[in-house]
Protein backbone atom coordinates (compact mmCIF):
# COMPACT_ATOMS: atom_id res chain seq x y z
CA UNK A 1 0.00 0.00 0.00
CA UNK A 2 1.20 3.50 -0.79
CA UNK A 3 0.75 6.24 1.80
CA UNK A 4 -0.85 9.46 0.70
CA UNK A 5 1.51 11.79 -1.06
CA UNK A 6 1.89 15.55 -1.01
CA UNK A 7 0.74 15.94 -4.55
CA UNK A 8 1.99 19.21 -5.99
CA UNK A 9 1.51 18.95 -9.72
CA UNK A 10 -0.01 21.51 -12.07
CA UNK A 11 -2.38 18.69 -13.10
CA UNK A 12 -3.57 16.16 -12.54
CA UNK A 13 -4.22 17.68 -9.14
CA UNK A 14 -5.14 16.07 -5.87
CA UNK A 15 -8.77 14.96 -5.79
CA UNK A 16 -10.51 15.71 -2.46
CA UNK A 17 -12.02 12.70 -0.69
CA UNK A 18 -15.61 13.87 -1.14
CA UNK A 19 -14.99 14.17 -4.87
CA UNK A 20 -13.51 10.66 -4.93
CA UNK A 21 -16.55 9.35 -3.08
CA UNK A 22 -18.89 11.04 -5.55
CA UNK A 23 -17.23 9.00 -8.29
CA UNK A 24 -18.24 5.71 -6.70
CA UNK A 25 -21.94 6.21 -7.44
CA UNK A 26 -23.56 3.59 -9.70
CA UNK A 27 -23.48 4.10 -13.44
CA UNK A 28 -26.37 5.95 -15.05
CA UNK A 29 -27.77 5.95 -18.54
CA UNK A 30 -26.14 8.78 -20.45
CA UNK A 31 -29.33 9.00 -22.52
CA UNK A 32 -31.54 9.20 -19.43
CA UNK A 33 -33.01 12.02 -17.33
CA UNK A 34 -30.49 11.83 -14.47
CA UNK A 35 -27.53 12.44 -16.77
CA UNK A 36 -29.41 15.21 -18.54
CA UNK A 37 -30.00 16.96 -15.24
CA UNK A 38 -26.36 16.54 -14.21
CA UNK A 39 -24.97 17.77 -17.54
CA UNK A 40 -27.24 20.81 -17.47
CA UNK A 41 -26.20 21.54 -13.89
CA UNK A 42 -22.46 21.28 -14.51
CA UNK A 43 -22.73 23.26 -17.76
CA UNK A 44 -24.49 26.16 -16.04
CA UNK A 45 -21.88 26.21 -13.28
CA UNK A 46 -18.86 25.82 -15.57
CA UNK A 47 -20.15 28.86 -17.49
CA UNK A 48 -19.88 30.82 -14.26
CA UNK A 49 -16.26 29.72 -13.89
CA UNK A 50 -15.45 30.88 -17.44
CA UNK A 51 -17.64 33.97 -16.82
CA UNK A 52 -19.52 33.49 -20.04
CA UNK A 53 -23.09 33.54 -21.25
CA UNK A 54 -21.89 31.55 -24.24
CA UNK A 55 -22.10 27.79 -24.60
CA UNK A 56 -19.85 25.25 -22.89
CA UNK A 57 -19.31 21.87 -24.52
CA UNK A 58 -18.10 19.06 -22.30
CA UNK A 59 -15.94 16.65 -24.27
CA UNK A 60 -14.61 13.34 -23.08
CA UNK A 61 -10.93 13.88 -23.73
CA UNK A 62 -7.87 15.37 -22.12
CA UNK A 63 -7.17 19.08 -22.51
CA UNK A 64 -5.33 18.52 -25.78
CA UNK A 65 -8.54 17.12 -27.26
CA UNK A 66 -10.17 20.42 -26.36
CA UNK A 67 -7.37 22.28 -28.15
CA UNK A 68 -7.78 20.07 -31.21
CA UNK A 69 -11.56 20.64 -31.12
CA UNK A 70 -10.93 24.39 -31.07
CA UNK A 71 -8.61 24.19 -34.06
CA UNK A 72 -10.85 21.95 -36.21
CA UNK A 73 -14.05 23.87 -35.50
CA UNK A 74 -12.87 27.49 -35.67
CA UNK A 75 -10.02 27.41 -38.18
CA UNK A 76 -10.29 26.29 -41.79
CA UNK A 77 -7.47 24.80 -43.87
CA UNK A 78 -5.38 27.63 -45.31
CA UNK A 79 -6.59 30.17 -42.74
CA UNK A 80 -3.95 32.57 -41.56
CA UNK A 81 -3.66 32.43 -37.76
CA UNK A 82 -1.34 33.85 -35.12
CA UNK A 83 -0.01 31.47 -32.49
CA UNK A 84 1.47 33.60 -29.71
CA UNK A 85 3.76 31.30 -27.76
CA UNK A 86 5.66 31.58 -24.50
CA UNK A 87 6.48 27.90 -23.96
CA UNK A 88 5.71 24.24 -24.43
CA UNK A 89 1.94 24.52 -24.82
CA UNK A 90 2.23 27.39 -27.28
CA UNK A 91 4.41 25.10 -29.37
CA UNK A 92 1.72 22.42 -29.09
CA UNK A 93 -0.93 24.85 -30.39
CA UNK A 94 1.31 25.54 -33.39
CA UNK A 95 1.66 21.80 -34.05
CA UNK A 96 -2.08 21.23 -33.92
CA UNK A 97 -2.90 24.22 -36.12
CA UNK A 98 -0.28 23.15 -38.69
CA UNK A 99 -1.58 19.58 -38.60
CA UNK A 100 -4.90 20.98 -39.85
CA UNK A 101 -3.19 23.03 -42.55
CA UNK A 102 -3.57 26.45 -41.01
CA UNK A 103 -1.11 29.06 -42.23
CA UNK A 104 0.57 29.77 -38.88
CA UNK A 105 2.34 33.01 -38.02
CA UNK A 106 4.24 31.73 -34.98
CA UNK A 107 5.22 34.57 -32.67
CA UNK A 108 7.66 33.27 -30.09
CA UNK A 109 7.90 35.66 -27.14
CA UNK A 110 10.46 33.40 -25.52
CA UNK A 111 10.33 30.92 -22.64
CA UNK A 112 10.22 32.97 -19.44
CA UNK A 113 8.36 35.96 -20.91
CA UNK A 114 4.71 36.85 -21.31
CA UNK A 115 3.03 37.90 -24.54
CA UNK A 116 3.55 41.55 -25.44
CA UNK A 117 0.08 42.70 -26.57
CA UNK A 118 1.63 45.57 -28.57
CA UNK A 119 3.19 43.03 -30.93
CA UNK A 120 -0.20 41.42 -31.51
CA UNK A 121 -1.78 44.85 -32.06
CA UNK A 122 0.87 45.71 -34.65
CA UNK A 123 0.35 42.44 -36.57
CA UNK A 124 -3.41 42.93 -36.66
CA UNK A 125 -3.25 46.59 -37.62
CA UNK A 126 -1.07 45.75 -40.62
CA UNK A 127 -3.55 43.06 -41.69
CA UNK A 128 -5.85 45.53 -43.47
CA UNK A 129 -7.58 42.84 -45.53
CA UNK A 130 -8.44 40.84 -42.40
CA UNK A 131 -6.71 37.71 -43.59
CA UNK A 132 -5.85 36.67 -40.03
CA UNK A 133 -8.73 34.54 -38.80
CA UNK A 134 -7.64 33.72 -35.27
CA UNK A 135 -5.17 34.39 -32.50
CA UNK A 136 -4.31 31.37 -30.38
CA UNK A 137 -2.48 31.50 -27.08
CA UNK A 138 -2.28 30.23 -23.51
CA UNK A 139 -3.81 31.93 -20.52
CA UNK A 140 -1.48 30.12 -18.13
CA UNK A 141 1.63 28.62 -19.75
CA UNK A 142 2.24 25.65 -17.49
CA UNK A 143 5.76 24.89 -18.68
CA UNK A 144 7.21 28.25 -17.63
CA UNK A 145 4.60 29.04 -14.95
CA UNK A 146 3.66 32.35 -16.50
CA UNK A 147 0.27 34.02 -16.95
CA UNK A 148 -0.38 35.95 -20.13
CA UNK A 149 -2.18 39.32 -20.15
CA UNK A 150 -5.25 37.97 -21.97
CA UNK A 151 -7.37 41.02 -21.22
CA UNK A 152 -4.75 43.19 -22.93
CA UNK A 153 -4.34 40.75 -25.83
CA UNK A 154 -8.10 40.91 -26.37
CA UNK A 155 -7.99 44.71 -26.23
CA UNK A 156 -5.05 44.75 -28.68
CA UNK A 157 -7.31 43.13 -31.26
CA UNK A 158 -9.37 46.36 -31.50
CA UNK A 159 -12.04 45.88 -34.15
CA UNK A 160 -10.11 43.27 -36.12
CA UNK A 161 -12.50 40.32 -36.59
CA UNK A 162 -10.00 37.54 -35.75
CA UNK A 163 -11.25 35.11 -33.11
CA UNK A 164 -9.32 34.98 -29.86
CA UNK A 165 -8.89 31.33 -28.88
CA UNK A 166 -7.40 30.82 -25.42
CA UNK A 167 -6.04 27.65 -23.86
CA UNK A 168 -6.91 28.10 -20.21
CA UNK A 169 -6.48 24.41 -19.38
CA UNK A 170 -4.26 25.13 -16.39
CA UNK A 171 -5.42 28.70 -15.81
CA UNK A 172 -9.18 28.59 -15.37
CA UNK A 173 -10.18 28.74 -11.72
CA UNK A 174 -6.60 29.57 -10.68
CA UNK A 175 -5.87 32.87 -12.42
CA UNK A 176 -8.32 35.68 -13.10
CA UNK A 177 -10.29 35.01 -16.28
CA UNK A 178 -13.32 36.86 -17.63
CA UNK A 179 -14.27 35.39 -20.97
CA UNK A 180 -17.14 37.71 -21.87
CA UNK A 181 -15.79 40.77 -20.07
CA UNK A 182 -12.48 40.55 -21.90
CA UNK A 183 -13.87 39.43 -25.26
CA UNK A 184 -12.38 35.96 -25.53
CA UNK A 185 -14.25 33.98 -28.21
CA UNK A 186 -13.20 30.41 -27.44
CA UNK A 187 -11.62 29.08 -24.25
CA UNK A 188 -10.57 25.57 -23.35
CA UNK A 189 -10.26 24.05 -19.87
CA UNK A 190 -9.82 20.58 -18.38
CA UNK A 191 -11.25 18.61 -15.44
CA UNK A 192 -7.90 17.65 -13.89
CA UNK A 193 -6.72 21.16 -13.04
CA UNK A 194 -8.49 23.74 -10.83
CA UNK A 195 -11.67 21.65 -11.09
CA UNK A 196 -10.07 19.20 -8.60
CA UNK A 197 -11.37 16.20 -10.54
CA UNK A 198 -9.55 13.41 -12.36
CA UNK A 199 -8.54 13.75 -16.01
CA UNK A 200 -11.13 12.86 -18.61
CA UNK A 201 -13.09 15.96 -19.56
CA UNK A 202 -12.28 19.02 -21.61
CA UNK A 203 -14.55 22.05 -21.56
CA UNK A 204 -14.77 24.24 -24.62
CA UNK A 205 -16.50 27.57 -24.06
CA UNK A 206 -17.75 29.34 -27.17
CA UNK A 207 -19.35 32.76 -27.66
CA UNK A 208 -21.90 33.62 -30.33
CA UNK A 209 -19.30 35.08 -32.71
CA UNK A 210 -17.38 31.83 -32.58
CA UNK A 211 -20.57 29.79 -32.95
CA UNK A 212 -21.16 31.45 -36.33
CA UNK A 213 -17.70 30.41 -37.49
CA UNK A 214 -18.28 26.90 -36.14
CA UNK A 215 -21.56 26.56 -38.05
CA UNK A 216 -19.69 27.23 -41.32
CA UNK A 217 -16.58 25.23 -40.51
CA UNK A 218 -15.02 23.52 -43.52
CA UNK A 219 -12.68 21.17 -41.68
CA UNK A 220 -13.02 17.39 -41.69
CA UNK A 221 -13.83 16.05 -38.24
CA UNK A 222 -15.92 13.40 -36.57
CA UNK A 223 -15.43 13.00 -32.81
CA UNK A 224 -14.63 16.66 -32.20
CA UNK A 225 -17.46 18.14 -34.27
CA UNK A 226 -18.84 20.83 -31.96
CA UNK A 227 -21.95 21.28 -34.10
CA UNK A 228 -22.86 17.73 -33.07
CA UNK A 229 -22.03 18.59 -29.46
CA UNK A 230 -24.29 21.64 -29.69
CA UNK A 231 -27.22 19.69 -31.13
CA UNK A 232 -26.87 17.02 -28.44
CA UNK A 233 -26.42 19.52 -25.61
CA UNK A 234 -29.80 20.98 -26.49
CA UNK A 235 -31.17 17.55 -25.49
CA UNK A 236 -28.99 17.43 -22.38
CA UNK A 237 -26.66 14.86 -23.88
CA UNK A 238 -23.24 14.44 -25.42
CA UNK A 239 -22.78 12.92 -28.89
CA UNK A 240 -20.80 9.96 -27.57
CA UNK A 241 -20.55 8.08 -24.27
CA UNK A 242 -19.15 10.57 -21.76
CA UNK A 243 -16.74 9.88 -18.89
CA UNK A 244 -19.66 9.68 -16.45
CA UNK A 245 -17.53 9.18 -13.33
CA UNK A 246 -15.52 12.31 -14.14
CA UNK A 247 -18.80 14.17 -14.65
CA UNK A 248 -19.82 13.07 -11.12
CA UNK A 249 -16.48 14.33 -9.83
CA UNK A 250 -16.73 17.72 -11.52
CA UNK A 251 -20.31 18.08 -10.28
CA UNK A 252 -19.17 17.53 -6.70
CA UNK A 253 -16.10 19.79 -6.99
CA UNK A 254 -18.29 22.54 -8.43
CA UNK A 255 -20.30 22.52 -5.19
CA UNK A 256 -17.16 23.85 -3.54
CA UNK A 257 -16.28 26.34 -6.28
CA UNK A 258 -19.87 27.60 -6.28
CA UNK A 259 -20.05 27.89 -2.49
CA UNK A 260 -16.77 29.77 -2.18
CA UNK A 261 -17.15 31.68 -5.45
CA UNK A 262 -14.69 31.60 -8.32
CA UNK A 263 -13.09 34.93 -7.42
CA UNK A 264 -12.30 33.68 -3.91
CA UNK A 265 -10.92 30.42 -5.33
CA UNK A 266 -8.64 32.46 -7.61
CA UNK A 267 -7.60 34.68 -4.68
CA UNK A 268 -6.64 31.53 -2.71
CA UNK A 269 -4.46 30.39 -5.60
CA UNK A 270 -2.74 33.78 -5.65
CA UNK A 271 -2.04 33.57 -1.91
CA UNK A 272 -0.55 30.09 -2.32
CA UNK A 273 1.60 31.33 -5.19
CA UNK A 274 2.94 34.21 -3.11
CA UNK A 275 3.64 31.91 -0.18
CA UNK A 276 5.56 29.36 -2.25
CA UNK A 277 7.56 32.07 -3.96
CA UNK A 278 8.49 33.64 -0.62
CA UNK A 279 9.66 30.26 0.69
CA UNK A 280 11.63 29.32 -2.40
CA UNK A 281 13.33 32.69 -2.57
CA UNK A 282 14.26 32.60 1.11
CA UNK A 283 15.94 29.28 0.35
CA UNK A 284 18.04 31.07 -2.24
CA UNK A 285 16.37 29.48 -5.26
CA UNK A 286 15.84 31.31 -8.52
CA UNK A 287 12.33 31.48 -9.97
CA UNK A 288 11.63 31.59 -13.70
CA UNK A 289 8.70 34.02 -13.62
CA UNK A 290 8.94 37.67 -12.64
CA UNK A 291 6.46 38.67 -9.92
CA UNK A 292 4.04 40.52 -12.19
CA UNK A 293 3.52 37.54 -14.52
CA UNK A 294 3.88 34.67 -12.04
CA UNK A 295 1.31 31.89 -12.32
CA UNK A 296 -1.10 31.27 -9.44
CA UNK A 297 -1.25 27.60 -10.54
CA UNK A 298 2.40 26.56 -10.58
CA UNK A 299 5.88 27.87 -9.88
CA UNK A 300 8.86 26.92 -12.05
CA UNK A 301 12.16 26.87 -10.19
CA UNK A 302 15.73 26.71 -11.41
CA UNK A 303 17.52 23.72 -9.93
CA UNK A 304 20.75 24.69 -8.12
CA UNK A 305 23.85 24.20 -10.28
CA UNK A 306 25.31 20.71 -10.25
CA UNK A 307 22.02 19.03 -9.35
CA UNK A 308 19.78 17.40 -11.90
CA UNK A 309 16.07 18.03 -11.19
CA UNK A 310 15.34 14.31 -11.63
CA UNK A 311 17.71 13.53 -8.75
CA UNK A 312 15.97 16.08 -6.54
CA UNK A 313 12.47 14.93 -7.48
CA UNK A 314 13.43 11.30 -6.81
CA UNK A 315 14.67 12.11 -3.33
CA UNK A 316 11.57 14.18 -2.57
CA UNK A 317 9.35 11.33 -3.76
CA UNK A 318 11.14 8.40 -2.16
CA UNK A 319 12.08 9.90 1.16
CA UNK A 320 9.46 12.56 1.80
CA UNK A 321 6.41 11.47 -0.22
CA UNK A 322 6.42 14.77 -2.05
CA UNK A 323 5.54 14.87 -5.72
CA UNK A 324 6.64 17.91 -7.70
CA UNK A 325 6.58 18.26 -11.46
CA UNK A 326 9.29 17.77 -14.00
CA UNK A 327 10.53 20.72 -16.06
CA UNK A 328 9.24 20.73 -19.62
CA UNK A 329 10.76 21.05 -23.06
CA UNK A 330 13.95 23.11 -23.12
CA UNK A 331 13.67 23.59 -19.33
CA UNK A 332 13.60 19.83 -18.60
CA UNK A 333 17.21 19.48 -17.46
CA UNK A 334 17.37 22.67 -15.42
CA UNK A 335 14.03 23.26 -13.70
CA UNK A 336 11.35 21.62 -11.59
CA UNK A 337 7.86 22.90 -10.91
CA UNK A 338 5.83 23.14 -7.71
CA UNK A 339 2.09 23.01 -8.36
CA UNK A 340 -0.30 24.94 -6.13
CA UNK A 341 -3.32 24.22 -8.25
CA UNK A 342 -6.71 22.90 -7.17
CA UNK A 343 -7.18 21.40 -3.73
CA UNK A 344 -3.65 22.10 -2.44
CA UNK A 345 -3.70 23.35 1.15
CA UNK A 346 -1.46 25.96 2.74
CA UNK A 347 0.06 23.35 5.05
CA UNK A 348 0.87 21.10 2.07
CA UNK A 349 3.04 23.93 0.85
CA UNK A 350 4.89 24.14 4.16
CA UNK A 351 5.52 20.39 3.92
CA UNK A 352 6.81 20.71 0.38
CA UNK A 353 9.07 23.61 1.22
CA UNK A 354 10.53 21.86 4.28
CA UNK A 355 10.99 18.67 2.24
CA UNK A 356 12.77 20.66 -0.42
CA UNK A 357 15.03 22.27 2.17
CA UNK A 358 15.95 18.85 3.57
CA UNK A 359 16.44 17.24 0.17
CA UNK A 360 18.61 20.04 -1.16
CA UNK A 361 20.71 19.96 2.00
CA UNK A 362 21.20 16.22 1.58
CA UNK A 363 22.29 16.85 -1.99
CA UNK A 364 24.98 19.21 -0.75
CA UNK A 365 23.34 22.59 -1.35
CA UNK A 366 23.99 25.18 1.32
CA UNK A 367 20.40 26.09 2.20
CA UNK A 368 19.74 28.49 5.09
CA UNK A 369 17.85 26.32 7.59
CA UNK A 370 14.43 27.54 8.59
CA UNK A 371 14.60 30.68 6.46
CA UNK A 372 11.88 29.53 4.08
CA UNK A 373 9.41 28.64 6.82
CA UNK A 374 10.16 31.93 8.59
CA UNK A 375 9.51 33.89 5.39
CA UNK A 376 6.26 32.03 4.81
CA UNK A 377 5.07 32.49 8.37
CA UNK A 378 5.91 36.15 8.17
CA UNK A 379 3.87 36.48 5.02
CA UNK A 380 0.85 34.84 6.64
CA UNK A 381 1.13 36.76 9.90
CA UNK A 382 1.86 40.02 8.12
CA UNK A 383 -1.26 39.63 5.96
CA UNK A 384 -3.56 39.43 8.99
C1 LIG B 1 -1.70 25.01 -20.68
C2 LIG B 1 -1.99 23.59 -21.02
N3 LIG B 1 -2.56 23.31 -22.20
C4 LIG B 1 -2.85 22.08 -22.58
C5 LIG B 1 -2.57 21.00 -21.76
C6 LIG B 1 -2.84 19.64 -22.23
O7 LIG B 1 -3.74 18.98 -21.46
P8 LIG B 1 -3.78 17.39 -21.42
O9 LIG B 1 -2.48 16.92 -20.88
O10 LIG B 1 -4.95 17.17 -20.50
O11 LIG B 1 -4.03 16.94 -22.80
C12 LIG B 1 -1.98 21.22 -20.53
C13 LIG B 1 -1.63 20.11 -19.64
O14 LIG B 1 -0.93 20.24 -18.68
C15 LIG B 1 -1.69 22.55 -20.15
O16 LIG B 1 -1.11 22.80 -18.97
| Rg, Å, the chain Cα set | 21
What phi, psi does 95 have (nearest 5°)? -60, -45
Can you tell me the mean pLDDT for 353-365? 98
Averaged confidence pLDDT in the chain: 97
With CA atoms as reference, report the closest residue to 139 among 78, 90, 80. 90
Is the CB of 89 within 6 Å of ligand 1?
yes
- Asked whether 190 and 66 are in contact (CB, 8 A), the reply is yes
> Which of these, 320, 269, 277, lies nearest to 301 by C-alpha position?
277
Name the packing angle between helices 244-260 and 33-50 (round to 10°). Answer: 50
Is residue 58 lining ligand 1, measured as CB closer than 6 Å?
no
Instruction: Please state, for a pLDDT cut of 70, what percent of the chain lies above it.
Output: 100
Treating both helix axes as pointing N-terminal to C-terminal, what angle do 226-234 and 208-215 enclose, rounded to 10 degrees? 120
The class (CATH top level) of 17-259 is: alpha beta
For ligand 1, atom 5: residue with the closest CA: 63
Cα separation of 314 and 147, whole Å?
Answer: 28
User: Residue 2's pLDDT is what?
Assistant: 79
CA gap 36, 76 in Å, rounded = 32
Mean pLDDT of 229-251: 98
- Residue 140 CA, closest ligand 1 atom number: 1
Separation of CA 204 and ligand 1 centre (Å): 13
Question: What is the rounded average pLDDT of the residues 177-195?
Answer: 98
pLDDT exceeds cutoff 80 at 384:
no
pLDDT, mean of residues 351-378: 97
By DSSP bridging, strand 186-190 and strand 163-167 are: parallel
Q: Is the pLDDT of residue 131 over 70?
A: yes
**Cα distance between residue 298 and residue 296, in whole Å:** 6
Q: Is 277 exposed, middle or buried (0-12, 13-18, 19+ CB in 10 A)?
A: buried
Pocket probe for ligand 1: among 65, 71, 89, 137, the residue whose CB has the most ligand atoms within 8 Å is 89
**Mind listing the pLDDT tens digit for each residue in 188-212?**
999 999 999 999 999 999 999 999 9
Domain boundaries, the chain: 6-10+262-382, 17-259
Residue 182 and residue 135: Cα distance in Å, rounded?
14
**How far, in whole angstroms, is CA 51 from its chain's centroid?**
16
Report whether pLDDT(235) > 80: yes
**Average pLDDT of the residues in 215-231:** 97
Name the pTM for this structure. 0.98
Q: Which of 13, 59, 63 to mutate to test the pocket of ligand 1 (most atoms within 8 A of CB)?
A: 63
pLDDT 10s digits, 278-295: 999 999 999 999 999 999
Residue 383 in this model has a pLDDT that exceeds 90: no
User: What is the arithmetic mean of pLDDT over 313-337?
Assistant: 96
Q: Assess contact for 357 and 338: CB atoms under 8 A.
A: no
Q: Please tell me the class of the 6-10+262-382 domain.
A: alpha beta
Label the pairing between strands 132-138 and 80-85.
parallel
Q: What is the DSSP letter of 294?
A: B
Residue 267 pLDDT greater than 80, yes or no: yes
Distance from residue 364's CA to the centre of ligand 1 (Å): 34
As a whole number of angstroms, the distance between CA 171 and CA 173 comes to 6
- In angstroms, the CA 36 to CA 34 distance is 5
Report whether residue 190 contacts ligand 1, using a CB cutoff of 6 Å.
yes
Helix, strand, coil share of the chain (percent; to 5): 45, 15, 40
Distance 169 CA to ligand 1 centre (A): 6
How much is the pLDDT for 38? Answer: 98
Alpha carbon of 103 to ligand 1 centroid (Å): 23
Per-residue pLDDT of 30-58, as tens digits, reads 999 999 999 999 999 999 999 999 999 99
222 alpha carbon to ligand 1 midpoint, in Å? 22
pLDDT at 317: 97
pLDDT value for 3: 83
Mutate to test the pocket of ligand 1, among 190, 202, 295, 325 (most ligand atoms within 8 A of CB): 190
- State whether the beta carbon of 63 lies less than 6 angstroms from ligand 1: yes
> Which pLDDT value is given to residue 100?
97
CA 59/CA 143 separation, integer angstroms: 24
What distances in angstroms separate CA 105 from CA 25, 85, 100, 229, one per listed residue?
47, 10, 14, 30
**3-state secondary structure at position 372:** helix
Q: Using a 6 Å cutoff on CB, does residue 169 contact ligand 1?
A: yes
User: What secondary structure letter does DSSP report for 152?
Assistant: H
Confidence of residue 345 (pLDDT cuts 50, 70, 90): very high
pLDDT for residue 80:
98
Name residues whose C-beta falls within 8 Å of residue 2's C-beta, 6 or more positions apart in sequence.
none
Total length of the chain: 384
> What is the reported pLDDT for 219?
93
Amino acid sequence: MKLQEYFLLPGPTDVPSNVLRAMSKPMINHRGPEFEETLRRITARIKRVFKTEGEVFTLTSSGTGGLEAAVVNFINPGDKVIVASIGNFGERLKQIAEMYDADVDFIDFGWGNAIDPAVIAERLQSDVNHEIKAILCQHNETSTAIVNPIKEVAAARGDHPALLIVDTVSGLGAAEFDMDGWGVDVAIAGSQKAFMAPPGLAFVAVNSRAEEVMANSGNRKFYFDLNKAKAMLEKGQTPFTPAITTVYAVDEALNYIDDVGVDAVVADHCKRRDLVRAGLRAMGLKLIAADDIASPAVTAVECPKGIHPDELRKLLREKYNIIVAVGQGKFAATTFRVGHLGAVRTMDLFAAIVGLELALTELGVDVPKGAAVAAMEEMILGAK
